[in-house]
A and B are shown apart, each in its own frame.
Chain A
Amino acid sequence: MLPVGYYIALSAILFTLGALGVLIRRNSIVIFMSIELMLNAGNLAFVAFARAYQSLSGQIFVFFIMAVAAAEVAVGLALIVAIFQTKRSIDVDQLNTMQG
């Protein structure tokens, strides 16, 4: 049985990778995947802590995060498809129609 710290370290690495991906990558879909990675890092931390504390509430939280992430996927994919139909590009650097 691994100590909980290892799981948390892994989840922290995943979270950092996700956050970096959002900041560095330019393709909307890849950015969105990075965000999902951040959410799943949270899920991993929750499950690990829930197991360490023998508490169910952390595991239930993961279900909620998954359901919410699915709803976000639906909205996000729809928005990305919509903007691709209008602009023929999903590069976030080209989201520059509005400048002050």
Chain B
Amino acid sequence: MCLGIPGEVVEIHPEQPDLAKVNVSGVKRLINIGLLSDDPPKPGEWVLIHVGFALSKIDEAEAAAAMAFLEGIGQAYEDEIAALRGSLIE
């Protein structure tokens, strides 16, 4: 029910602009983008899909920032473990 899945907008329906075709890992479906009418998505942009509607656009910059944080944590962790191992050699 909370199920929301990211999908890439492939094309806007030529006759019905509140419908768009999205691609989720190779699977395509028409969804309603009426809830994003203030800032409609364009082909190539990603949206969050819930029961046949796009609820929100996925902000790629924020996603990249989230990833960068997680990668940073990962790197810091690796550095720490390496440092720890280094100090055990003695």
A binds B: no
- Interface residues of chain B, those whose CB is within 8 Å of chain A, are none
- Interface residues of chain A, those whose CB is within 8 Å of chain B, are none
